[in-house]
Structure 1
Amino acid sequence: METEKALPSTQVILLSEDFFARDAQSLACALLGKIIRHRTEGLWLAARIIETESYYKNEKGSHASLGFTHNRRALFMPPGTIYMYYARGGDSLNFSAQGEGNAVLIKSAYPVLDEISGEASLQRMQQLNPDKQGRIRAAEKLCAGQTLLCKSLGLKVPDWNAKRLNERLHLEQAPPPKQIIQTRRLGIPIGRDEDLPYRFVDAAYARHCTKNPLRLGQLEGRDYWLLTEKEGSWATF
């Protein structure tokens, strides 16, 4: 196993805490393309964020709408606070946004291989997240879902809920998507604002996210909308 090492400061630009102080939909778009990197057992495990969902306290699909609890306290803390919870038998990763109770769920990502996170890191991610038969999971499938993402990166609720990004877990600047797909969130129960279009996908990675919004039968303008960056910001929000 390779030895633990610090990130080369000349090559990596970390996101500041101020980055998260924006509207939840704006943050959901801004997080696409960013690299999440977690140091564990001497290795940096890394993935590019390709799918996010935004949530607001005043809509029924959000955890914050259910009220304050100790487990949900991160949603009521300053922007950039990590909120983790258990869902579908695994861990899920969120970040608080501007406005009490508002947050963004990191829905899926794509493994990163570079000089910091090399083959040994990818192999460790595959060890952490085998398929249901115990076999090695294909790289493009490792983070294709919110719980798969956390399992592959070794992120656990007890370790990170209500914490801040630090020297062991951080987000890095990276080229933004050229086009974003906006669509409805997944897994929202009927009657809990299931039709709100608060899910955002990096169009270049659509087939690798939780559920491809461009799959057969989906129509632009009805099932999804395409957003294009204008002058360095996603001006829709």
Structure 2
Amino acid sequence: MAPKSQPPKTPVPALGKPLRRAFFARSVHEVAPDLIGATLLFNGVGGVIVEVEAYHHTEPAAHSYRGPTQRNMVMFGPPGFAYVYRSYGIHWCVNFVCEKEGSASAVLIRALEPTHGLAAMRRRRGVEEARALCSGPGKLTEALDITHAHNALALDTRPFALYARTGKIDVVAGIRIGLTKAVELPWRYGLRGSKFLSKPFPDTR
């Protein structure tokens, strides 16, 4: 019997400098595009961030729009912490809190290009294809094993680790996905041409 073929190994890219909490103490509209190309690891498993969405407390799609609740309280705290919530009662979603304390703005991490710990991701997700592992906010939390137990944890200490992007990239912007409010705001950012996006961006060139 011929040996079972293994998925081809993807070269692991070099990591940039670690991102500290101060990185997030800026406008959510500066942080969000700057996260494209950064690397997110959780207990050593993760990859390059290729898609995010920005949410600001002044617009009705943000969970913080109507003020603090038990669910969204971490958004009103200092920047550089994880906000993890359940979407539609099914999937966990991970967000990075930005801006000064009280601003309650955050970046939703929508998709990663898997680079670290693919075997663990495939086991957790039950799929082999690399592009299907983290191409959506619920997929990537399942692949990385992020749950509500990790809500309000600092992003610059274990189990989280974030590293700045290295080199130049092409960031594209468009409207956010799956919303019924503030649908016209172009606050979704992605790595142009990435095959790991949750949904392609319209060609704006």
Q: TM-score w.r.t. structure 2 length?
A: 0.86
Counterpart CA distance in 1 for 2:167 and 2:74 is: 27
Q: Structure 2 vs 1, CA of residues 178 and 13 (structure 1 numbering), >3 Å: closer, same or farther?
A: closer
Gap runs ≥5 in structure 1? 1-9, 131-135, 221-225, 227-237
Partner residue, 1:25: 29
- In the alignment, structure 1 residue 143 sits paired with structure 2 residue 147: no
Q: Report the counterpart of residue 69 of structure 2 in structure 1.
A: 69
In 2: Cα distance, 1:186 partner to 1:151 partner: 20
1:83-133 Cα distance to aligned partner (Å, 9 max, x none): 000114111010111141111100111101xxxx4xxx2111101112xxx
Root-mean-square deviation (CA, aligned residues, Å) is 1.8
In structure 2, relative to structure 1, the CA distance for the partners of 1:128 and 1:164 (3 Å cut) is same
**Distance in 2 of aligned mates of 1:18 and 1:211:** 30
Q: State the partner residue of 2:172.
A: 181
The percentage of aligned residue pairs carrying the same residue is 25
* Structure 2 SS opposite 1:75: helix
User: Corresponding residue for 1:6?
Assistant: none
Among 145, 150, 164, which residue is 1:154 paired with?
145
Q: Match for 1:211: what amino acid?
A: K
Structure 2 unaligned segments of length 5 or more: list them.
Answer: 1-13
Query: Number of residue pairs matched?
Result: 188
The question of 1:82 aligning with 2:82 is answered yes
2:152 maps to a residue whose letter is A
**Structure 1 residue runs of 4 or more that deviate by more than 2 Å after TM superposition:** 10-13
> SS at the partner of 1:64?
coil
- Equivalent residue letter for 1:28: A
Partners of 1:82 and 1:163 within 8 A in 2: yes
- Aligned-partner residue type, residue 171 of structure 1: L
Contact kept? 1:177, 1:203, Cα under 8 Å:
no
Determine whether 1:124 maps to 2:108.
no
The question of whether the paired residues in 2 share the 8 Å contact of 1:32 and 1:176 is answered with no
Query: Would you say the 8 A contact 2:15–2:165 is kept in 1?
Result: no
Between 160-169 and 74-83, report the one with greater CA deviation: 160-169
> 1:168: Cα distance to partner?
1.8
Change (3 A) 1:138 1:65: same
How far has the Cα of 1:66 moved from its partner?
2.8
Match of 1:94 in 2: 95
Q: What's the CA shift string for 1:164-186, capped at 9, x where partnerless?
A: 12122111123255211110000
Question: Which residue number corresponds to residue 235 of structure 1?
Answer: none
Deviations 1:121-146 (A, max 9, x none): 2111101112xxxxx23111100000
- The TM-score normalised by the length of structure 1 is 0.75
d(CA) in 2 for partners of 1:62, 1:183: 17
Could you say what secondary structure the match of 1:74 adopts?
Answer: helix
Match of 2:96, SS state, is strand
For 1:209, the equivalent position in structure 2 comes to 197
1 or 2 for the larger relative contact order (CA 8 Å, sep ≥6)? 2
Shift of 1:13: 2.5
Aligned match of 2:109:
106
Q: How much does 1:78 deviate?
A: 0.7
Bigger shift: 169-178 or 52-61? 169-178
Partners of 1:17 and 1:79 within 8 A in 2 = yes
